[in-house]
Amino acid sequence: MWNERLRELREEHDLTQSQLAHKLGLNYKTIYRYENGICEPNLSILVKLAKMYDVSIDYLCNLSDIKKRDNDALIEMLNKSINETNNLLKALKKSR
């Protein structure tokens, strides 16, 4: 879930809930509530978190496993899919 991803990112960056709250201009209780699924951050907080952790909002919200905000990971994944598709097509042609 997204709240687990938020906790994971905070811990990866060696931040306490209080430190993260301070960086965002929030109360530490708000971070506690986010991480425990009691409430959800608004869009402006999501944008700040994504920029701070250098991840996409989709990754932050657990809608994607692509962590980076840039397109490198997406390009790599697409190239892998293209290669796998080409290999399948070759195998199908050989089986005819």
CATH number at 53 reads 1.10.260.40
User: How many whole angstroms separate alpha carbon 72 and alpha carbon 74?
Assistant: 5
> How confident is the model over 17-41, as pLDDT tens digits?
999 999 999 999 999 999 999 999 9
User: How many whole angstroms separate alpha carbon 91 and alpha carbon 54?
Assistant: 40
When divided into structural domains, the chain yields a total of: 2
Considering the domain architecture, whether residues 6 and 40 belong to the same structural domain is answered as yes
Considering the domain architecture, whether residues 16 and 53 belong to the same structural domain is answered as yes
DSSP state of 61: T
Per-residue pLDDT band for 88 (boundaries 50, 70, 90) equals confident
Instruction: Give one DSSP letter per residue of 68-90, joined into a string.
Output: BSSSHHHHHHHHHHHHHHHHHHH
Considering the domain architecture, whether residues 44 and 87 belong to the same structural domain is answered as no
